[in-house]
Structure formats: structure tokens, C-alpha cells
Amino acid sequence: MTGWEMLAVAAAGFAAGGINAVVGSGTLVTFPVLLAVGLPPVTATVSNSLGLVPGNLTGAIGYRRELTGQRRLLVRLLPASMLGALTGAFLLLHLPASSFEAIVPVLVGLAVVLVAVQPAVQRALARRRPAGDVGPVEVGPGRMAALFAGAYVTGTYGGYFAASQGVLQIGIFGLLLRESLQRLNAIKNVLTTAVNGVAAATYVVVATDRVDWRAAGLIAVGAILGGYTGARFGRRLPAAVLRTAIVVLGLIAIAVLLTR
């Protein structure tokens, strides 16, 4: 990579770290940039997951106040998310690269649609739950099973291709939990950190040759700063601006993938 390309990757990591902390879908920023600087799709996904973990962690720490009363729920859901991450990482590393290249434009398109419709989902969720509810989360066995399944499915998606797993999590958990959007976002940040962390560890152990360490390191540096900034100041940014940028970058990624 040239100096300008390295700067672009680090800047993408910063943007993705901030976006992941606030709304999710930061991979739709980093993934097109990694493709643009010449990384193959699978290498881009592996390196991206590894690089974004520190930013996920700083974003989760930044939302620690919103995690009050949610420890019991997270202890139950984390194993499902981690198992899903292992499943997704296994699929990524064992399916042919041609299969990944064929399905990724579809996944990116799905992610773009999810980001675009997120405001409508948020409005619907806000209408069905009291604002500012900070009580402990209590759910019955049936709903807990549905939450466990949702954590596993989104973890599998995140382990295979991380874009918009947070949007999926908020949508699924928002239908099953009476929680404010900020508290749902805090749950999302913790589970996303676990998913990306498990997937990244898997890649390091069994697929070191598919990691571009320079790209992962540049994304990590940017994502750490971005995750902190997003958790601290990101709520003040116009959501429409972030969402529009994500959708545009997602469309660029689809165009790049289809013309490779």
C-alpha cells in the first residue's frame, strides 16, 4: 500500500469505529476501502474483523452506563453469539472463495437495505416501549429461546461477514425486549465485540496466511479512536448524514465486487 492508501485505511477504521459505536454497519466503510487498495474479498473480511475488535471494545465501554441491569441477559446471550461467530468463521474459511465472492454482494445489499430502513424500525420500536426504562431485564423461557436463536443467527452472520450485524441485532432484540434504543445499542455493542473477537481469534489461529496485518493494524488504530469518539460524541451527529454515507459506500462496495 502507498502512504495515501494507508492513510485511507486508517481513516476508514476511525469512521467505522465511530459508526459501530453509534449505529452499527461500520464494515460498510472499511470493506470498500480495503477492496479499493487491492485486498481480495476474503482477506479484506478477515483483516477487517481483526482490526475492528479494539474499536468495538472501546464503543462497548463507552456505553457501560446503559448496561445497568443487563448483566444476566448478556451472560445468557454471549455463548450463543460466540458459537455463532465460530460457525460463521468456519463457513468463511471452508467455503470456496468463489462462493464468498458470489454471496457478498447480496449480503452487502441486504446490509444497505437494513441501514436504509433502520429509522422506520427505530420508530416502531420506540412506540412499543417506555423511554428511559432502566429496570432489570426479565424474560420468559420462550422469549429467552428466541433471543438465544437471534444471538446465534446474528453471530453466524457476523462471523461470516460483519456488515450490519448490529442493525440485525437491534431489530431482533428490539422486538423481544422492552428496552430503550440506547440500551439496545449497549447490548449490541457487547455482543458485536464478542462476535468479532471470537472470529478474529479464529482467523489468527487457523488462517494467519489470510490476514493482512498492516491493514488490520491500521484499521485497529483508527477504530480505537473512532470507537471512543463515537461513544462520547457520536449521538450528537446527524443520523441521516451517517446513514446516507453508509448507504453510498455500500453501493460502491457492490459495484467494486461486481466489476472485479
The pLDDT of 112-131, averaged and rounded, is: 66
Q: 23 with 242: CB under 8 angstroms?
A: yes
Retrieve residue 20's grid coordinates: 459501530
For residue 149, count other CB atoms closer than 10 A to its CB: 13
Residue the block writes with cell 453469539: 81
User: CA 3, 203, 189: angle at the middle one, nearest 5?
Assistant: 85
Mean pLDDT for all residues in the chain: 80
What is the pLDDT, as a whole number, of residue 218? 94
Q: 54 with 32: CB under 8 angstroms?
A: no
Task: Give whole-number Cα distances, 17 to 36, 53, 213, 230, in Å.
Answer: 19, 9, 18, 7
Q: Which of 45, 14, 2 is nearest to 218 (CA)?
A: 14
pLDDT, tens only, 122-179 = 677 566 655 555 444 456 778 889 889 989 988 998 888 777 677 778 777 877 777 7
pLDDT, tens only, 169-205 = 877 787 777 776 678 778 888 998 899 899 989 988 8
The answer, yes or no, to whether residue 237 has pLDDT greater than 90, is no
Retrieve residue 255's grid coordinates: 459495484
Retrieve residue 4's grid coordinates: 495515501
Query: What is the pTM assigned to this prediction?
Result: 0.75
The answer, yes or no, to whether residue 101 has pLDDT greater than 90, is no
The pLDDT of 60-68, averaged and rounded, is: 79
Q: 203 with 50: CB under 8 angstroms?
A: yes
